[in-house]
Amino acid sequence: MTEHGGTLEPIVDLSALPRHAMGARTPLWWGTVLLIAIESTCFAILFTAYLYVRNDFQEWPPDEHLRALPGALSAASLLLTIVPTWLYRAHACAHRFASMRRWLVIATALSFLAILARVWEIHALPFSWTGSAYASIVWMSTGMHTVEIVTGAVESVFMCVLLFRPKMELKTFEDVEAGALFWFFSVFVWLPFAALFYLEGVAR
Amino acid sequence: MNPALESTIGNAPVTRSEPRRHSAVYDWLASTEHTAIGRRFIATALGFFVLGGILALIMRLQLARPLLHVVGPDRYNQIFTTHGSTMMFLFAVPVMQGLGLYFVPLMVGARNLAFPRLANFAFWIYLFGGIFLYIALLSNTGPDAGWFAYVPLSGPEHSPGKRVDVWAQLITFTELSALSVAVNLIVTTFKHKAPGMSLDRLPIFVWGSLVTSFMVLFAMPAVIIASTCLALDRLVGTHFFNPAEGGDPLLWQHMFWFFGHPEVYIIFLPGLGMVSEIVVSTSKRTLVGYVPVVLANVATAVLAFGLWVHHMFATGLPQLGASFFTGASILIAIPTGVQFFCWIATIWGSKPKIDAQFSFILAFFATFLIGGLTGVMLAAVPINIQVHDTFFVVAHLHYVLIGGAVFPLLGGLTHWFPKLTGRMLSERLGFLSSGFVFFGFNLAFFPQHLLGLRGMPRRIYTYLPETEWGFWNLISTIGAFLLALGVLIFLINAARSLHKGPAAPANPWGAESLEWAVSSPPPPSAERKILLVPSRYPLWFGQLGRVVGVARDEQLVTRVVDAEPDHVVKAPIPNLMPLVTALATACLIVACIFTPWGLPVGAVFVSAALFVWFWPTDREPALDTERRFRDESEPKRVAT
């Protein structure tokens, strides 16, 4: 900051400030974190609703038992996407364009694989949402989370398209980082649900 | 930034074309000026306030005497539900957020909001939600299960048709809007403060707005999930609230009130912020206890999430649970009490100027105090159960919400009218208005305490003469019309002043905060200077400075706590995509009332709109991707 003298009014010249930043310095990062806070609350409420409804049942789960394999595969394929996401985020933060683009493409492809696994998981649910309150909550949680990961995957496709244009705005690095944050959330928010549903919903 | 990147950027020309010129209509629809969007929120919310008020007057006419038939029971149900939903979702929250959109950037010294196009989207989606509700009401499909839509009454068995679905989707519209604004206000406050406007210098209204926005983030998801579950129960046969299949009607109440109770504080905390601003500016003294008042705001927000169950005492709670929530409910009177004492101490001995804005604040003191005291009464389980679902509760909630939010709002609008419009209000009409509002309000609602204690239940469309409720109901109705007259005088004063009022100077009240440092009304954001803030009361203490080196189309980003300058970003170019996205979203929401396919089909259109919205404008610093890719992919060649 440079102080100019001459008048009583203090003047600061900020023309030398950077025109681009990353991480918690940027408004977009804060916007993304607040969006994650909103969605976390949504999922937390559903999670609590599941536990609340469980109190009303003598036998739990009240419907047919879940199949372990599709659920496990779906969760594992989601976890797998964390590695390339972590890498493309790190490269974005370091402004390494080529590596960022490479890992983003890989992460996007893996996220679609995870969606395929999710489709199988939904197909393998042994009950309809009309079965009981338990079935309704399992379906709604799974459905809401599917919307979440489809949104994240479509956003990744959009980012990929931007990165294959001849010119890329610097702030796209911020967008890519925000996309990664959102995807981390989308993956990790599912783990408590997967644990809850499959640890007690599968026949022993 | 690494040096290699800088060199690559240097080789890629940044397009710096002038933005295209558009028609006035386009500019209006696409506006990203926080002042324009804030004004639209305020004006629209006041419009819905009038509509909700008209519904209230119809109810009061119906109840004025026993066995009247102004409206039938079915219409009455729609009217009280729409009245409550309007006042909570279409008036109270949006008007406070609208004032936040308008004044928070001005008060923290930001040029504009962090996400102005998101704010534009929030306005349109809010407007469409409101219009949707009133189209439904006028076509005899208005929601009719109360503003909190308790199951099983609102479930598929007891409320066939689409009325409750209209309510559930109104929630989606308004919560989407409220959440968008909340995120905007938080990020603007955190990242776009003027240098020197550290967190410990924020005006109390900004603190109120900030705390409220955080509450919105954590409260609104509960009602979104609840209303979605309700809509699914009704549309596709899920069983969230159906006890026959293991669902639980009490689950609805928990989810609803986990939102609904904080909602009360979401509505009146910004109002308390306005009280602080007016008390300081009329007393011409710094606020006594700035830190305790800020902490009281934060404490209220935290405690607000721990007492929702006091709305459910009549459902038969375990004794320990009831005791806990009684304690928590009484506890929340403490931070509010702290604020009261700080205001009194500020005013004490200061010879405040008793003008129209201050008269509303005096009305607030008396009224809100009564509302708070009946709140403490209602926190006690025996009283709560005795007066549950009676007019005592109606009286209490109106004392809290009108006393705690509408009186400060009218005071705040009087205080800020010169800034909003560039015109001064008539003091005489202002006093007349506050007199009628205060007197009419107390005449309307105080008797309802008595009616409640005498057993008159809420939500009945008529009663028998033998109940002897007629006299106090008549008095209440007369009071309601006097209150409406007071509001009418306020609106006439505003309309008259807008055309004939004397021009307002930049700082007509000699107030202390930054919004008074700009002309009335404020210049467009691009033309606004970025100031250097010398103190907590920048127009009273210290010398204001200014920042140079930030272009007209740029926004300064500062650090969260100390507001030190960090970097500079481009302001977004206004376009129609927020409006188009809001239209697509509205179609999706309405379609979901009729078919679950509304979601996937609507999502395609919303996504397409978002793609266009986020497509780069190529006016930012950019890099040549092909060259970057080649350089990074072939390090050996670069090395040789």
Quote the tokens at residue B420: 């909003």
Beta-carbon contacts of residue B535 (< 8 Å; ≥ 6 apart)? B201, B541, B542
Closest CB to A17: pick one of B248, B567, B616.
B567
Which residues in A lie closer than 8 A to residue B192 (C-beta atoms)? 27
Query: Can you tell me the distance from the alpha carbon of B291 to that of B597, in angstroms, rounded to the nearest whole number?
Result: 52
Q: Which residue of B has its CA nearest to A157?
A: B611
Average pLDDT for B98-121: 97
Closest CB to B549: pick one of A14, A35, A42.
A14
User: What is the pLDDT at residue A4?
Assistant: 42
**Residues B248 and A137 sit within 8 Å (Cβ to Cβ):** no
| Residue range B428-446, pLDDT digits in tens | 999 999 999 999 999 999 9
| Residue range B490-544, pLDDT digits in tens | 999 999 999 999 999 999 999 999 999 999 999 999 999 999 999 999 999 999 9
Average pLDDT for B40-58: 98
Exposed / middle / buried, residue B153 (Cβ in 10 Å: 0-12, 13-18, 19+): middle
A60 touches B: beta carbon within 8 Å: no
Residue with tokens 């595969």: A73
User: What is the pLDDT at residue A1?
Assistant: 38
User: What is the pLDDT at residue B486?
Assistant: 98
Average pLDDT for B55-59: 98
Which residues in A lie closer than 8 A to residue B624 (C-beta atoms)? 166-167
> Which band of pLDDT confidence, cut at 50, 70 and 90, is reported for residue B631?
low
> Which band of pLDDT confidence, cut at 50, 70 and 90, is reported for residue B613?
very high
Quote the tokens at residue B316: 């038969």
| Residue range B231-243, pLDDT digits in tens | 999 999 999 999 9
| Residue range B374-390, pLDDT digits in tens | 999 999 999 999 999 99
| Residue range B337-385, pLDDT digits in tens | 999 999 999 999 898 989 999 999 999 999 999 999 999 999 999 999 9
Average pLDDT for B576-592: 97
User: What is the pLDDT at residue A200?
Assistant: 84
Q: Tell me the β-bridge partners of B457.
A: B390
Which residues in B lie closer than 8 A to residue A119 (C-beta atoms)? none
User: What is the pLDDT at residue B477?
Assistant: 98
Q: Would the CB atoms of B629 and A101 count as touching at under 8 Å? A: yes
Q: Which residue of B has its CA nearest to A101?
A: B629
Interface test with B, best of A7, A28, A38, A88 (most B CBs within 10 A): A38
Query: Can you tell me the distance from the alpha carbon of B317 to that of B185, in angstroms, rounded to the nearest whole number?
Result: 38
Q: Which residue of A has its CA nearest to B563?
A: A25
User: What is the pLDDT at residue B19?
Assistant: 57
Average pLDDT for B606-628: 84
Model pTM above 0.90:
yes
User: Would you say residue B484 has pLDDT above 80?
Assistant: yes
Query: Can you tell me the distance from the alpha carbon of B49 to that of B62, in angstroms, rounded to the nearest whole number?
Result: 20
> Which band of pLDDT confidence, cut at 50, 70 and 90, is reported for residue B223?
very high
Query: Can you tell me the distance from the alpha carbon of B312 to that of B324, in angstroms, rounded to the nearest whole number?
Result: 13
Helix and strand numbers, DSSP H then E, in chain A: 7, 3
| Residue range A24-77, pLDDT digits in tens | 999 999 999 999 999 999 999 999 999 999 988 888 899 889 999 999 999 999
User: What is the pLDDT at residue B92?
Assistant: 97
Average pLDDT for B271-299: 97
**Residues B303 and B332 sit within 8 Å (Cβ to Cβ):** yes
| Residue range B36-45, pLDDT digits in tens | 999 999 999 9
User: What is the pLDDT at residue B634?
Assistant: 52
User: Would you say residue B13 has pLDDT above 50?
Assistant: no
Q: Would the CB atoms of A11 and B217 count as touching at under 8 Å? A: no
Q: Tell me the β-bridge partners of A80.
A: none
Which residues in A lie closer than 8 A to residue B251 (C-beta atoms)? 49, 52-53
Count of CB pairs separated by less than 8 Å, A with B: 216
User: What is the pLDDT at residue B415?
Assistant: 98
A178 touches B: beta carbon within 8 Å: no
Residue B76 DSSP SS3: helix
* Nearest-neighbour CA in chain B from A70: distance (Å): 23
> Mean pLDDT, consecutive 10-residue segments, chain A of 204 residues?
53 94 96 98 96 90 92 97 98 94 97 98 96 96 97 96 90 95 98 93 72
User: Would you say residue B202 has pLDDT above 60?
Assistant: yes
Q: Is the peptide bond before A84 cis (omega within 30 degrees of 0)?
A: no
- CA distances to B96, B149, B332, B358, B558 from B411, rounded to whole Å, are 13, 33, 25, 7, 32
Query: Can you tell me the distance from the alpha carbon of B509 to that of B418, in angstroms, rounded to the nearest whole number?
Result: 10
Q: Which residue of B has its CA nearest to A36?
A: B217
**Residues B258 and B309 sit within 8 Å (Cβ to Cβ):** no
Average pLDDT for B142-169: 96
Best CA proximity match to A118, nearest among A66, A154, A73: A73
User: What is the pLDDT at residue B388?
Assistant: 95
User: What is the pLDDT at residue A5?
Assistant: 42
Which residues in A lie closer than 8 A to residue B565 (C-beta atoms)? 1, 12, 14, 17
User: What is the pLDDT at residue A3?
Assistant: 41
User: What is the pLDDT at residue B79?
Assistant: 98
**Residues A95 and A21 sit within 8 Å (Cβ to Cβ):** no
Q: Would the CB atoms of B190 and A42 count as touching at under 8 Å? A: no
Between positions 64 and 93 of A, the ones with CB within 8 A of B are none
Closest CB to A35: pick one of B183, B225, B543.
B183
Q: What percent of chain B has pLDDT over 90?
A: 91
Query: Can you tell me the distance from the alpha carbon of B258 to that of B222, in angstroms, rounded to the nearest whole number?
Result: 6
Q: Which residue of A has its CA nearest to B224?
A: A42
* Nearest-neighbour CA in chain A from B284: distance (Å): 24
User: Would you say residue B639 has pLDDT above 60?
Assistant: no
Residue A17 DSSP SS3: coil
A3 touches B: beta carbon within 8 Å: no
| Residue range B300-315, pLDDT digits in tens | 999 999 999 999 999 9
Domains of chain A: 28-53+68-201 (1.20.120.80)
* Nearest-neighbour CA in chain A from B543: distance (Å): 7
User: What is the pLDDT at residue B316?
Assistant: 86
Which residues in A lie closer than 8 A to residue B258 (C-beta atoms)? 45
User: Would you say residue B583 has pLDDT above 70?
Assistant: yes
Q: Would the CB atoms of B246 and A171 count as touching at under 8 Å? A: no
Pairing of strands B530-532, A167-169: unpaired
Q: Would the CB atoms of A158 and B611 count as touching at under 8 Å? A: yes
Which residues in A lie closer than 8 A to residue B549 (C-beta atoms)? 13-17
What's the ipTM?
Answer: 0.94
Average model confidence (pLDDT) across chain B: 93
